[in-house]
Structure 1
């Protein structure tokens, strides 16, 4: 990140812009950061990446070092809109890696009652939104960074969630994971193009650019890790990729990328928290082409002989308005700009590749929440389950609608049924598809702390996230978070490296369909135990898998 980018000072829960002060008095950088208790002096570690030198900061409270806002690719501006990421520019001098990077442009969830194609509002952001957002944050143990040409610490690369339309690296403090691992890992938190900017598809985009630009950004960040993480003391042969929600959906995409045969390999293990697999159409199918036409018309490019070049030249504010409005006009809780089958990076629907057992990565830890679908369903909906299924899966015919509806018709109210359809078809069942594909090298967990809603588990491992842990119990947090960190360090969650870990012995999922349940008693005491997968649930997942050609999964 260059010195002239906006910098903010955190004061309690809000931040005060310091851009004007810094632009006029750049020599105030060091004084102000020292006043904030952040080590930003000449003895803070500097890492030379060849194309740039970055100076991090030491947090003496956690005994970690952070490098914030490292460019891993060129700014995706102008002709690089909807193009594959390119190498970062060469920058002279030492770049201060002290402040959170710009986040990629954000968009809201759908809020319409009918469009097949209460919105969760975007929380107030503390960093600027920009197209120039291809940055990552690196966190290392201790105050000294030692390059390791060979060997080094395991690396956790975290992909944020947000439905492919929102989220940012600034929301996640990678130091949390380092402390929980007993200083046994290095953490990388990456950003990628979102919404219209990251997932615009269509024939014209395929011919003149690339669909799935956001996924290619992630892949490029993985390549950056392979090339540079040894400079921070990490081992590129010991990389685990981990994502939550759309971040976990992204993990699926990388597992099946290049038909499950990415060469050279970019990671050895994968972890998913609330796997999200939306309808993934071919890049030139009806719905992606409709979305492309909406963008073309919204930028007044309909009469252009080269519509993509015209859209690339559009004002960013116009594009961001379209990004927000198109998403908001989608059906309640649904997402419009999501990954597609592009024929190159993603060569076929993910369920097809998974069914062939062709996988990138060797080990899987998959965790879901008890009630994944609820937040994406209008809890006052009057749609019966058949109409709900017809709306979220517009390619379903009468046979698929009837078959799916019959599975849920005796499972509570129409809202209860819609919650289950959403949660199982898009989150829970894709998790089992992954578990089945990884076989004896996969483990399954469930976060069951009430209310068990989608996303409430994040604060149990990123303990400084948002409002903190929903269940602030140190014994539980140790049990839950250590399972992930053990996976990253030892290729199995069944490794006890910290005292006080109350987790019983993990068994692989295929060992009797065994799962680890993370819950608490009515008295508020942690309860972590093994359980068997519900066979009725697996039968419903078999149905969803059998109709995946119609759901486009």
Structure 2
């Protein structure tokens, strides 16, 4: 039998005829996705969920997208939000001090999300639709984009049992500019409001993709997990109507969260104003809105890269509205958004955020990390870690536990018997090492393991995910270290000073 060019074309025509290319009508726009016939997963890339936050909408709450006619092709990754990098003062071995070339264009016009569905047609089940998992990317509220992740991975790992939504939000200076002037003339925590708006979008539109809006799980890693905390405590832990049922955190990052008009946020706002020559303006925020985006982006990058090593300059603040108080205060009250929590930390969270080659004094490090600490708070923290190896190792434990590990346990206490805890310990177990095990397009192939897993409150039991020297999965339970919980109790006792 001979295969001719004509027979190949006919075969392709038959194949294309059997695989419908879905179009979803959202009212304000119609989007046509694409079907991956190899995986039988449909993707809708670059769906606009809010108007471009430019001009007068810069540092404003997200607004509805404009209505557009015709069918919009949702087949390419959207612009990513303007990027910066982790602080590297005095030195940073991980980043260059020049803007990196990236495959995706950066833009202020970046409020997009990607939706992935199993199959080639969005057909709701008799039970009302598939559960939905919403992924919030990390990057210190300063960098990251949805183009870095393939939502199809989550569908495959769930045996085609979920719909995946990946969202973008304003970052850095554009998403988290603090200060009294922003409170009066704009929107504080614009990046968090973007996320909240995207979650509202899910409630309104996900049924059009075959999803059930009553079965939404929000999940993030690092600053994405920190964002999950923000939504758990939003509106004093009582967001109505509810936007999600379950929360998942991977390496929760709960950095100092000052009141919007505290000393440090106002210093940051002044630095932005001075850097754009707006200091003499009678309305500095309007002046900033009129500033050239490239000027702002250069400032955004420089302020972040010159921040203390391992830290990020632009992060959420207590705005008095969406976030009414420090997260630990709300968490201790026990009134929280969401019904269930699954939390995972990595075994060596802090190493990435400390210059491992730097000679440092632990007391100076603690004071620099938490500038509102007085001598008593610094001394207390230093005493906790004085028997834990070198000064660099102590510093790694300080930042890893105070900002990532301990806030996770605060959440576990807040959710009580409705919370489960895991630890990712596959060597080296650094911050972010677990991501390729969620998004397997990065090349890892996790085992299909479903262990019996009790809630954390039940005897402080956690699940450890490791592997043997031979590479076989090693998954087993263990009990949380009591000494770690004692250190976490100390960090909670000084949270008014650490602004957590």
Q: State TM-score, norm by structure 2.
A: 0.95
1:59 paired with 2:36, answer yes
Can you list the C-alpha shifts for 1:140-181, whole angstroms capped at 9, x where unaligned?
A: 000112257971000000000000000001011000000111
Q: Specify which of 408, 411, 414 is matched with residue 385 of structure 2.
A: 408
Secondary structure of the residue that 1:464 maps to in structure 2? Answer: helix
Aligned partners of 1:75, 1:257: CA distance in 2, in Å?
Answer: 24
Q: Structure 1: state its 5+ residue gaps.
A: 1-34, 479-500
Aligned partners of 1:205, 1:409: CA distance in 2, in Å?
Answer: 42
1:87 paired with 2:64, answer yes
Residue 43 of structure 1: CA displacement? 3.5
Alignment match, 1:321: 298
Aligned partners of 2:436, 2:212: CA distance in 1, in Å?
Answer: 27
Can you list the C-alpha shifts for 1:171-221, whole angstroms capped at 9, x where unaligned?
A: 110000001111100000000000000000100000000110000000000
Alignment match, 1:524: 471
Aligned partners of 1:351, 1:49: CA distance in 2, in Å?
Answer: 38
Contact 2:87 2:312 in 1 (8 A): yes
1:365 paired with 2:312, answer no
Residue 62 of structure 1: CA displacement? 1.1
Secondary structure of the residue that 1:358 maps to in structure 2? Answer: coil
Query: What count of residue pairs does the alignment treat as equivalent?
Result: 484
* 1:97-496 map, 5 Å: 97-113=74-90, 118-121=93-96, 124-146=101-123, 151-465=128-442, 468-469=443-444, 472=445, 474-475=446-447, 478=448
Secondary structure of the residue that 1:230 maps to in structure 2? Answer: helix
Contact 1:39 1:59 in 2 (8 A): no
Contact 1:67 1:138 in 2 (8 A): yes
Secondary structure of the residue that 2:440 maps to in structure 1? Answer: coil
Secondary structure of the residue that 2:106 maps to in structure 1? Answer: coil
Contact 2:218 2:248 in 1 (8 A): yes
Can you list the C-alpha shifts for 1:257-278, whole angstroms capped at 9, x where unaligned?
A: 0000000000000000000000
Residue 385 of structure 1: CA displacement? 1.3
Aligned partners of 1:119, 1:311: CA distance in 2, in Å?
Answer: 31
CA RMSD of aligned residues (A): 1.7
Secondary structure of the residue that 1:530 maps to in structure 2? Answer: strand
Alignment match, 2:487: 540
Secondary structure of the residue that 2:465 maps to in structure 1? Answer: strand
User: Residues 123 and 367 from structure 1, CA distance in 2 versus in 1: closer, same or farther, beyond 3 angstroms?
Assistant: farther
Contact 1:254 1:360 in 2 (8 A): yes
Aligned partners of 1:126, 1:154: CA distance in 2, in Å?
Answer: 32
Secondary structure of the residue that 2:423 maps to in structure 1? Answer: strand
Aligned partners of 1:203, 1:90: CA distance in 2, in Å?
Answer: 34
Can you list the C-alpha shifts for 1:16-49, whole angstroms capped at 9, x where unaligned?
A: xxxxxxxxxxxxxxxxxxx9xx979994000000
Q: Structure 2: state its 5+ residue gaps.
A: 1-11
Aligned partners of 2:454, 2:189: CA distance in 1, in Å?
Answer: 36
Aligned partners of 1:40, 1:405: CA distance in 2, in Å?
Answer: 68
Aligned partners of 1:39, 1:241: CA distance in 2, in Å?
Answer: 35
Aligned partners of 1:545, 1:443: CA distance in 2, in Å?
Answer: 20
Can you list the C-alpha shifts for 1:398-430, whole angstroms capped at 9, x where unaligned?
A: 000000000001100001001100100000000
User: Residues 551 and 370 from structure 1, CA distance in 2 versus in 1: closer, same or farther, beyond 3 angstroms?
Assistant: same
Alignment match, 1:506: 453
Contact 2:132 2:211 in 1 (8 A): yes
User: Residues 40 and 418 from structure 1, CA distance in 2 versus in 1: closer, same or farther, beyond 3 angstroms?
Assistant: farther
User: Residues 394 and 48 from structure 1, CA distance in 2 versus in 1: closer, same or farther, beyond 3 angstroms?
Assistant: same
Secondary structure of the residue that 2:316 maps to in structure 1? Answer: coil
User: Residues 288 and 375 from structure 1, CA distance in 2 versus in 1: closer, same or farther, beyond 3 angstroms?
Assistant: same
Aligned partners of 1:287, 1:41: CA distance in 2, in Å?
Answer: 60
Contact 2:19 2:35 in 1 (8 A): no
Can you list the C-alpha shifts for 1:434-453, whole angstroms capped at 9, x where unaligned?
A: 00000000000000000000
